[in-house]
C-alpha cells in the first residue's frame, strides 16, 4: 500500500490574540481549532499555512502580514527573524507587557481551575511593572561556536553556504546550527565590543576551528560574557577543547591580550578572563580552569548589598529587573515578622536584600556553591542575621517551623514549581504569610490549590517583566493563612 498523501489546507488569515508556550502567537483556525504561529505577536492578522497538527492544536507557518498589530515597531536586531530569543521585539514595550500579563493571568487561572474573570474576582491583580530600559539590560550572555549556521529560506535559496566559522545562539530546536551574531542588542555596548574582539581572533582562517557538535571535534566551544552593572566590571569565560598544541595555547594567549587591550566606553573595564578546557561531549559551559588573566570574579550590587560574582555564580540575569523584582517582593511582604524562611534561596540575594526587615533569616538551597557564595556575601556586607543550609528543600523539611507563627515564607522554586513534599509540608506549616515567586506563572497556578488545601489563600498577584523583548515574565503571589471551613458531618438515612 502506498503512503497516503497528507491533505494540505489552503492558506488562511488568522488573528493572533495572545501568547502561548515559549512566546508563540495563538489564534484560531476557520474551523475553530487553536493554532500556534511562531514569531508573530498578539494583535497581528497574518496569512498562514497550517503545517502539522498534534491532538487539537495546529502549527502554522506565517506567509504574509495582512495587518500589523497596534504598537508595531521595527525590530532593532538584524537577526530577529532567525534567532527566536527576542520573539516580541516587533511590538513596543507597552504592548509586550500587556500580552505577557494576559498570558500569565491565563496560565495561573488555568492551574487553579478558574476562568480569568473568576481569578480577578478573588485576587487583587496589580499592573505589570519592569525596568525602563528595553535593551542592553542583560548582565550575562552565553554564546556557542559552531561550524554550521542556521539561515533563512531566502538565504538557502540564494546559495549562501551553511558551513563555516560562527559564533552566536542556537536556533530554536536546533542543537547543531548556530545563528551567527555579530552583536546582541540585549547586552551593553561594552560587552558587544568585547564580543567583536573575540570574533576577530577566533573566526579567522588562521585560528583553530570551532567545535563541531556532531563529530565532537574542533577547539572553540563557548563564550560567556558577564557584567556588573553597578561596577562597570566585565568578566569573560572562554571555553575550549583541551589545548594539545603550542599553536592553540598561543592563540588563546593572543586573544586574552587583545581582550585586555580592547578600548571600552567610559565607566567600563575588563576585570578578568577565565579559560576553561572542556573534554566532555556535553554542549555546556563547563570545564577545568586552565588559566586566569586578572580576576575570576566581578563586583555587583542590588540596593545596599554588594556581591562578588564568579564566572559561574547564579545571579538574576537582569540587574535592573532584579531591583524591580526585589522591591516588589518587599511590597508583597505586608506583615511584620521576626523570622524569614527563604526557600530555594540560591546565593541568598532575596534574603540579603530584605535583611533589615527581619531579626533572623534561614535560607535553604541545594547547590553547595550557591550557599558558599551566600555566606561569603553575607560576611562581606557584615550581615549577621542569616543562616544557610546546603540541602534540597524536600530533604530538610524538619528545618521548617512546626509550631510558632511569627515568621514569613518566601519561596522561589525552579520553573517546575514546588516539589510535592514541599508543597504538602508548606500547606500545613504554621505561618501567616507566604510569598511565592514564580519564573513560570503556570507553576504558581498549579501549586496554589495545594497550598489552599492547608489554609493558604492567594490574595494578591504582581507581575514583573524581567526580560523585555522575550516571553519570560515573573509572577509574585501573596498567600495569607485563613481558617479552613469545618467539615460538616452528614448521615445517610437508612
DSSP helix/strand/coil, 374:
helix
The Cα–Cα gap between 10 and 50 comes to: 8
| Tens of each residue's pLDDT in the chain, 494 residues | 444 444 457 899 999 999 998 899 999 999 899 999 998 999 999 999 998 777 788 999 999 999 999 999 999 999 998 888 899 999 999 999 999 999 999 999 999 999 999 999 999 999 999 999 999 999 999 999 999 999 888 888 888 899 999 999 998 878 889 999 999 999 999 999 999 999 999 999 999 999 999 999 999 999 999 999 999 999 999 999 999 999 999 999 999 999 999 999 999 999 999 999 999 999 999 999 999 999 999 999 999 999 999 999 889 999 999 999 999 999 999 988 889 999 999 999 999 999 999 999 999 999 998 999 999 999 999 999 999 999 999 999 888 887 777 889 999 999 999 999 999 999 998 888 999 999 999 999 999 999 999 999 999 999 999 999 999 999 999 999 988 766 534 343 43
**pLDDT per position as a tens digit, 48-100:** 999 877 778 899 999 999 999 999 999 999 999 888 889 999 999 999 999 99
The Cα–Cα gap between 490 and 483 comes to: 21
**Residue 52 CB burial class (10 angstroms; 0-12, 13-18, ≥19):** exposed
Phi and psi angles of residue 396, each rounded to the nearest 5 degrees, phi first: -135, 40
Helices (H), 69-188: 80-83, 93-112, 116-122, 153-157
The Cα–Cα gap between 113 and 177 comes to: 40
Phi and psi angles of residue 103, each rounded to the nearest 5 degrees, phi first: -60, -45
User: Which of the 8 DSSP states describes residue 399?
Assistant: G
**Residue 402 CB burial class (10 angstroms; 0-12, 13-18, ≥19):** exposed
Cβ neighbours for 456, distance < 8 A, ≥ 6 positions apart: 426, 427, 434, 479, 480, 481, 482
Q: Are 441 and 448 in contact (CB under 8 A)?
A: no
83 is catalytic: no
Distance of CA 418 to the CA centre of its chain: 17
Cβ neighbours for 367, distance < 8 A, ≥ 6 positions apart: 314, 346, 390
The Cα–Cα gap between 269 and 190 comes to: 9
3-state secondary structure 376-393: HHHHHCCCCCEEEEECCH
The Cα–Cα gap between 24 and 41 comes to: 8
Cα atoms found within 13 Å of the Cα of residue 90, Cβ hemisphere only: 19
Q: What is the pLDDT of residue 488?
A: 38
Q: What is the pLDDT of residue 5?
A: 44
Query: Strand 140-148 to strand 45-54: parallel, antiparallel, or no bridges (unpaired)?
Result: unpaired
H or E stretch including 438?
strand 433-438
C-alpha cell at 302: 542590588
Q: Please state, in angstroms and as integers, the Cα–Cα distance from residue 40 to each residue in 25, 69, 90, 159, 385, following that order.
A: 5, 10, 8, 27, 49
Distance of CA 133 to the CA centre of its chain: 17
Q: Are 453 and 427 in contact (CB under 8 A)?
A: yes
pTM: 0.91
Q: What domains are there in the chain, each with its CATH number?
A: 12-69 (2.40.50.140), 102-133+318-481 (3.40.50.150), 140-302 (2.40.50.1070)
The Cα–Cα gap between 284 and 130 comes to: 30
3-state secondary structure 134-146: CCCCECEEEEEEE
DSSP helix/strand/coil, 172:
coil
Amino acid at each position: 500500500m502506498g503512503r497516503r498523501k497528507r491533505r494540505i489546507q489552503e492558506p488562511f488569515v488568522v488573528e493572533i490574540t495572545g501568547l502561548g508556550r515559549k512566546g508563540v502567537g495563538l489564534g484560531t483556525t476557520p474551523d475553530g481549532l487553536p493554532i500556534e504561529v511562531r514569531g508573530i505577536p498578539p494583535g497581528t492578522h497574518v496569512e498562514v499555512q497550517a503545517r502539522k497538527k498534534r491532538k487539537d492544536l495546529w502549527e502554522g507557518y506565517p506567509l504574509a502580514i495582512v495587518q500589523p498589530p497596534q504598537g508595531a515597531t521595527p525590530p532593532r536586531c538584524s537577526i530577529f527573524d532567525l534567532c527566536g530569543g527576542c520573539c516580541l521585539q516587533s511590538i513596543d514595550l507597552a504592548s509586550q507587557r500587556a500580552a505577557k500579563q494576559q498570558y500569565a493571568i491565563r496560565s495561573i487561572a488555568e492551574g487553579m481551575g478558574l476562568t480569568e474573570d473568576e481569578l480577578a474576582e478573588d485576587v487583587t491583580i496589580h499592573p505589570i511593572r519592569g525596568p525602563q530600559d528595553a535593551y542592553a539590560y542583560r548582565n550575562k550572555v552565553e554564546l556557542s561556536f559552531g561550524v554550521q549556521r542556521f539561515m533563512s529560506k531566502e538565504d538557502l535559496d540564494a546559495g549562501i553556504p551553511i558551513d563555516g566559522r560562527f559564533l552566536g545562539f542556537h536556533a530554536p530546536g536546533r542543537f547543531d546550527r548556530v545563528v551567527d551574531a555579530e552583536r546582541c542588542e540585549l547586552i551593553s555596548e561594552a560587552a558587544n565590543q568585547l564580543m567583536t574582539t573575540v570574533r576577530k581572533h577566533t573566526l579567522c582562517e588562521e585560528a583553530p576551528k570551532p567545535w563541531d557538535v556532531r563529530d565532537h571535534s574542533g577547539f572553540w566551544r563557548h563564550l560567556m560574557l558577564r557584567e556588573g552593572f553597578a561596577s562597570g566590571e566585565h568578566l569573560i569565560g572562554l571555553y575550549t577543547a583541551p589545548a594539545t598544541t603550542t599553536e592553540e595555547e598561543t592563540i588563546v594567549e593572543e586573544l586574552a591580550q587583545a581582550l585586555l587591550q580592547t578600548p571600552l566606553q567610559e565607566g567600563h573595564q575588563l576585570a578578568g578572563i577565565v579559560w576553561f578546557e572542556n573534554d566532555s561531549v556535553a554542549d555546556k559551559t563547563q570545564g577545568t580552569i586552565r588559566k586566569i588573566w586578572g580576576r575570576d570574579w566581578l563586583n555587583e550590587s542590588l540596593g545596599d548589598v554588594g556581591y562578588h560574582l564568579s564566572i559561574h555564580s547564579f545571579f538574576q540575569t537582569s540587574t535592573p529587573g532584579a531591583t524591580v523584582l526585589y522591591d516588589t517582593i518587599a511590597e508583597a511582604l505586608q506583615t511584620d515578622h521576626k523570622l524569614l524562611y527563604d526557600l530555594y534561596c540560591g546565593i541568598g540575594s532575596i534574603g540579603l536584600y530584605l535583611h533589615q526587615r527581619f531579626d533572623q533569616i534561614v535560607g535553604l538551597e541545594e547547590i553547595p556553591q550557591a550557599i558558599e557564595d551566600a555566606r561569603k556575601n553575607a560576611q562581606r556586607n557584615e550581615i549577621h542575621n542569616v543562616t544557610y543550609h546546603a540541602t534540597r528543600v524536600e530533604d530538610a523539611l524538619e528545618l521548617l517551623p512546626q509550631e510558632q507563627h511569627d515568621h514569613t515564607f518566601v519561596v522561589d522554586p525552579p520553573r517546575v514549581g514546588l516539589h510535592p513534599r514541599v508543597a504538602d509540608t508548606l500547606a500545613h506549616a504554621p505561618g501567616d504569610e507566604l510569598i511565592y515567586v514564580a519564573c513560570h506563572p503556570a507553576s504558581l497556578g498549579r501549586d496554589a490549590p495545594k497550598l489552599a488545601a492547608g489554609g493558604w489563600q492567594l490574595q494578591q498577584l504582581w507581575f514583573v517583566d524581567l526580560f523585555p523583548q522575550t516571553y519570560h515574565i515573573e509572577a509574585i503571589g501573596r498567600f495569607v493563612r485563613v481558617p479552613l471551613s469545618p467539615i460538616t458531618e452528614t448521615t445517610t438515612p437508612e
